[in-house]
Amino acid sequence: MVTTDVLVEGVHFRRDWSSGYDIGRKAAAQNLADVVAMGARPTAIVVGLASPPDLSLDWADELVDGLQDECALVGAGLAGGDVVRGDAVTIAVTAIGDLAGRPPVTRGGARPGDAVVVVGQLGYAAAGLDLLRAGLREPLPLVEAHQRPRAPYDAGLLLAAAGATAMIDVSDGLVADLGHVAAASGVRIELESAALPVTDELVQAGARLDVDPLSWVAGGGEDHAFAATLPAGDVDQVVARLAWLRAPVPFARIGKVCAGEAAVVFTDATPPSTKGHDHFA
């Protein structure tokens, strides 16, 4: 399994908001999460770095430390890469994973009757970004989620092993990414806004910024939670198995898969914003 992502300074990160270490963790996480979302165990990454000539060696060392430490969470290694001169810091990461002979979990396997579930935090990174834009750094867990997302790798692999029929990591927004699943599977995905996980920290940030926190949960990306579809009868078993993980992972059953035109819709009140991230909008 091979995947690649590119991070560009000023578009995906700002050095005045995030340390080199944070950015290294973030760059590795978004690639490792893509590997896990297809049911593979990450084995290695290679990295291309474009750097202005005045970039400090200390910052570059921090970046490498962040890349290595994120890889260590899944037992992967930083295998090498390339460094070139550029006008802005640009980081291209390619991640490699091993399916161990198992078929991949694609976006195209969702079936009518499946449950739609999510493991991991939703909306935290988007809320953290809005807080930073407003010159705020509280609640701190939201800001830290933007700087350094915490992808629930073990929970994603558990979903794959438990028979997930489709899975995707939430990088561009929950509704936007589930839209890819709906399109690839040719199904209608029905969500319940009342079932979306809204924490007290999101409510607090929403009050400070006058934002409905559901907009972050439904439309915010870069948390790298895992949204999956699986047979409805297997949900209780998955919940029980998640309890065995070393660290607790947020879990929510948020909807169902139905026959119909490929789309993602809400059966109750639709959140104020579900747009998600579009690189060229």
Cis before 139 (ω within 30): yes
pLDDT at 271: 86
Round to whole Å and give the CA distance between 172 and 278: 7
Q: What is the pLDDT of residue 268?
A: 94
Domains and their CATH numbers in the chain: 2-98 (3.30.1330.10), 114-266 (3.90.650.10)
Using CA atoms, how far apart are residues 264 and 238, in angstroms rounded to an integer?
A: 24
Pairing of strands 263-266, 188-191: parallel
Report the distance separating Cα 69 and Cα 57, nearest Å.
18
pLDDT given for residue 281 in this prediction = 73
pLDDT < 70: residue spans in the chain: none
Q: Give the per-residue pLDDT at 246.
A: 83
- Token digits of residue 248: 């607790």
Sheet containing 90-98: give its strands across. 2-8, 90-98, 41-51, 77-85
Res 237: pLDDT: 93
Q: At a CB cut-off of 8 Å and minimum separation 6, what does 146 contact?
A: 17, 18, 124, 125, 126, 127, 128, 129, 132, 222
pLDDT digits (tens, 9 = 90+) for 110-165: 999 999 999 999 999 999 999 999 999 999 999 999 999 999 999 999 999 999 99
Q: Which structure tokens are listed for 146? A: 């933007």
Global pTM reads: 0.95
Quick count: other Cβ atoms within 10 Å of Cβ 211? 17
CB–CB of 116/247 below 8 Å?
A: no
